[in-house]
Structure 1
Amino acid sequence: MKQKKDDEIVEENYQVAKLYITTENQTEITSKERYLNCIVQFESDNENWNYTADARIRGRGNSTWLWYPKKPYRIKLNTKAPILGLPADKDWVLLSNYRDPTHLMNTFVFTVGKNLRIPFPNHSRYVEVTLNDEYIGLYQLTEQIEQGTNRVAILEDEGILLSLDADDGPYLAPDETDNFWSEKYHMPVCIKNPKIITEDKLLEIKNEFALFENAINNAVYSEVESLLDIASFIDFMIIQELVYNVEVDAPRSIYIHKNKNGKWTMGPLWDFDAGFDFDWGTMYTGHNYFNSYQELVLGTSPVSHTGGYHVPSFFTDLFKNQQFVNKYKQRWLEIKDKIISEYWASTLLYADEFKIAMERENERWPIDKDNITEINRMENWIEKRVNYLSDVINNYPAGIK
């Protein structure tokens, strides 16, 4: 292949590829638990990214699997491989983005997170998928969140990856041995790594998390700093508020990890198509966003939950501490002017490339929204929200410790 300049190589990441999936005997995918054997074939304008392999596939997701006609999927290759220029692994996710009329919500957050250096960010590749000879639309291909060299790079046996999630945790699966209610804040915790959980390991993780929770509750900066990467926590919470991710309230899809003898660190970021002022009154049909830019997750006073969701105090008790509040405000001032000029501008490059594919998507899955109009509405909403949050964050109470 002809050698390309650096800026041209970057542009390849935004191109839309083709993905052909053929299940064994062309069997329909009806389960989130049972994998079907399949063959996957990727075709890209970059010939080096073309790839065909044996794999398995199943459904994935919660509301996105249950409520909507366009389904998300999880692919497990039989052999690790670099897909569309991403580092090699077996496990990949196809996000349907049916609820999201822009197809950019997760991509925007991934882009912000990468620029803020939240560890182990997911990437986005857009693919038009044909399943068993039937065109099923435009999908976002990204990494499965899991322990791994090219995923969450923590130790396989000693590293800890947790999901704070009402659906994945003990609320819906109380008999599973990989989840528990946390001691201090009663958070629903699901252990994603280690994969093998003995009674002793479960107790060890519970105790470590309880120690961490107690430090947050005490809100003594030096005590918290010894256990938590505070910078990652600040960036993580800024993003939740920026996109009005109300699922922090449940919580859902909140990941946190630590290596052996390391600090708890927020991330990776995941699942943001319920943000951006999503209209939950139309949740079974989706597509309705951006009505108000003035709704708040953390409120005008995070500690007292004034003017916002009553999110678990796990996410707000650090605002008792004056040093934490000062660092939070300082970080917002550092990044706020980059949100539109850099992070959103980078996100729009994907939209520029998937315009033609979106026409086919709209024919396959017609909804009552125009993609370009909704992208413009999203930009306007983010721009107004940044200005609004600047006043809100500047006026956060200073803290009492």
Structure 2
Amino acid sequence: MNKSICVLSILLSFSFYSGNSQILTTSNLPILKVNTKGRNIVDEPKILATMQLIHNEKGGQNNVNDIPNVYNGLIGIELRGSSSQDLFPKKPYGFETWADTTGKSRKISFLNFPEESDWVLNATYNDKTLMRDVLTYDLVNKMGRYATRTRYCEMLVNNDYQGLYILMEKIKRDKNRVDISSLKITDNTGDDVTGGYILKLDKTSGSPSKNWTNNTTTPFGNYKTFFQVEYPKYADISQPQFDYIQKYVNDFEAALLAPDFKSPQAKWREMCDLDTFIDYFLITEFVKNVDGYRLSTFFYKEKITKGGKLKMGPAWDYNLAFGNADYYDGYKSTGWQYKVNEIALPKGDIYPAPFWWQQLAQDSIFKTKTVKRWEALRKTTFNTENINKWIDSTASGLEPAMKRNFNKWPNVLGKYVWPNYYVGSTYQDEVNWLKEWIRIRTLWLDTQFQTFALTLGNENMAEREQPIRVFPNPIESQTTIDYQVFKKGNVSIILYDINGKTIKTLVDEIQTSNTYQLSVSLENLSAGTYILNYLLDGIPVERVKLLKK
């Protein structure tokens, strides 16, 4: 026998799988093998294929020749994604576990995922750390909110090695995912029609959905916002259901724009779960997702008898977060993401964020609760030391698969892949840059949240006198501060420079309800802008800008 043929025969007999000269034999990650029987995977409809999933639960190495011990059956598989599908050679997939060749779905539980049938395989091509999505979902889950569960795996399609993938839960109405009521097409009256709905702000690629566009005049400009109903699906939603949820969202927007929107009795407060809005705001700002608020943005609503308020989430799609975008200031570790429209709209972007966040940022209750929540999260979930440990541990576990992935796709590491801002020479460079970006971002947000909440959240400041006044201002050397204490508590008045550095604590003591006056000398300070921060029992009451001549 010819020697080369003999070698080829041996390789085939051991079922080694390769792609771009990359061979996979064993992995510390689950191995997922898809066989389409030669059919091409397309973007709808799903095609019939078989899937084998191999994983050693005791933590040993998995071999491509092992007997599939997690799943060995039928699936329907398709391409998914928008820009990721069109721009990159490594394709993302969606698949559904099937009971038979007719396409009947089959719910299963594997790899510690709760039982379901719909799944996503995230290619994470332009995130060279391979972590941004997984890290964000981990943070959200630690915040006590649902985010898709994930598991890294290595994938082969028709014996061709495809690289490292993130196996994920698809956003779906389910008791273990978005836990809201099932809506039948006949649920058209009374409490039945009031929930549950999953809505999104996103591009129109993918399955068709019922949708509408709001042309809204706001204090921040004229917005054209495109809303889609993710659940019920297009074929399963009745007209009364669509009319109900459209009116509810429109009424919520109208209430946010009402003259009394800052009032504690404002109607919009009864229509939404503010705590979910605050958590969505904080995770979006923390990771500074360049698509945040405007794309891949989900919210949902349950029936009135089960709460009935709009809730933000689940979090979705963060490969362009943590500075991984060279447009709309996505790479900067400073700046508010909720103000993205100020950058995007002048450039002709057709996917604006709704005005909600700019309006909420004017509300004292939202601001005060947001600051308190940030302070609590910084001690736990958003603690940078804890995050760095997670990143280092994940990078170590991914190392063998990471090397195979970048051997398979050689035009990624060290190369510009849209829309990267930073391009490191090595994987470790990318990981180090991610950690440094998070460090700087966290420090910037700490500074911002010191002065973010301008008024006491449970007070109607419009009905009170101004809580603190400074005169004269601008200041040559001396100035006087008048301030009111509305209730007995610990008063803190602190002077900061424009970068958030503490210059001097002017007051830090328990004071009773009264009006106070304080003389302050600034003659030793250089000319410039300073911030005076007034807090009562740790809650921001007012912030005043001082100008030193």
Q: TM-score range by the shorter chain?
A: 0.7 to 0.9
- Equivalent residue for 2:241, pick from 201, 204, 222: 201
Identify the range of structure 1 (234-243 vs 387-396) with the bigger mean alpha-carbon deviation: 387-396
Aligned match of 2:83: 63
Q: Which structure: larger Rg?
A: 2
Query: Which of residues 134, 138, 152 in structure 2 aligns to 1:126?
Result: 152
- CA–CA distance in 1 between the matches of 2:442 and 2:69? 38
Quote the Cα distance in structure 2 between the aligned partners of 1:314 and 1:398: 18
- C-alpha change, 1:194 and 1:332, in structure 2 (3 Å) is same
1:135 corresponding residue in structure 2: 161
Instruction: Summarize deviations over 1:258-297 as a string: whole Å, max 9, x none.
Output: 111121111110011122223346x9xxxxx995322431
Unaligned 5+ segments in structure 1 are: 1-14, 284-288
| Counterpart amino acid of residue 288 in structure 2 | Y
Aligned-partner Cα distance in 1 for 2:132–2:407? 21
Change (3 A) 1:245 1:291: closer
1:345–1:290 Cα change, 3 Å: farther
Aligned to 2:199: 162
Q: Deviations over 1:6-33 (max 9, x none)?
A: xxxxxxxxx621101111x22121x211
Distance in 1 separating the partners of 2:56 and 2:126:
28
Q: Return the alpha-carbon distance in structure 1 between the equivalents of residues 453 and 313 of structure 2.
A: 26
| Larger RCO (alpha carbons 8 Å, 6+ apart) | 1
Aligned position for 2:324: 278
Contact 2:209 2:230 in 1 (8 A): no
Aligned to 1:19: 32
Say whether the 8 Å CA contact 2:289–2:330 is kept in structure 1.
no
Secondary structure, counterpart of 1:354 in structure 2: helix
CA distance in 2, matches of 1:314, 1:291: 24
How many angstroms apart in 2 are the aligned matches of 1:129 and 1:177?
31
Between the aligned partners of 1:277 and 1:60, the Cα distance in structure 2 is 24
Which residue is 1:335 aligned to?
377
Tell me the TM-score normalized by structure 2.
0.63
2:117 corresponds to 1:90: yes
Are residues 1:378 and 2:378 paired?
no
Read off the aligned partner of 2:226 and give its amino acid letter. Answer: P
Deviation (angstroms), 1:142 = 0.5
In structure 2, C-alpha distance between the alignment counterparts of 1:290 and 1:146, rounded to whole Å: 29
Alignment partner of 1:188 is 2:226: yes
Q: Structure 1: how far apart are the matches of 2:158 and 2:263?
A: 57
1:45 pairs, out of 40, 43, 56, with 56
326-335 vs 343-352, which moves further: 343-352
Q: Partners in 1 of 2:126 and 2:438 — Cα distance?
A: 18
Q: 1:290, 1:342 → 2: CA distance?
A: 24
C-alpha displacement at 1:336, in angstroms? 1.9
Answer yes or no: is 1:320 the counterpart of 2:378.
Answer: no
Does the 8 A contact of 2:54 with 2:71 survive in 1?
yes
Q: Is the 8 A contact 1:76 1:91 kept in 2?
A: yes
Structure 1 stretch 387-396 or stretch 346-355: which is displaced more? 346-355
Residues 153 and 164 in structure 2, CA contact (< 8 A), matched pair in contact too:
yes
3-state SS of paired residue (1:298): helix
1:349 aligned to which of 371, 383, 393: 393
Considering fraction of residues, name the structure with more strand. 2
- Partner in structure 2 of residue 148 of structure 1: 174
Q: For 1:74-123, what per-residue CA distance to the aligned partner results, in whole angstroms no more than 9, with x for missing partners?
A: 010011111211001110000000010001101111011101112x3211
Shift of 1:397: 5.8
2:300 corresponding residue in structure 1: 257
Tell me which amino acid in the other structure corresponds to 1:194: P
Aligned identity (percent) is: 25
TM-score normalised according to structure 1 size: 0.84
Q: Which runs of 5+ in 2 are unaligned?
A: 1-27, 59-67, 99-105, 184-194, 217-222, 347-351, 415-425, 456-460, 463-549
* Contact 2:84 2:92 survives alignment (8 Å): yes
Q: How many residues align?
A: 369
Q: Secondary structure at the match of 2:386?
A: helix
Whole-Å separation in 2 of the counterparts to 1:311 and 1:153: 25
**Are the aligned partners of 1:82 and 1:89 in contact in 2 as well (CA < 8 Å)?**
yes
Residue 8 of structure 1: aligned partner? none
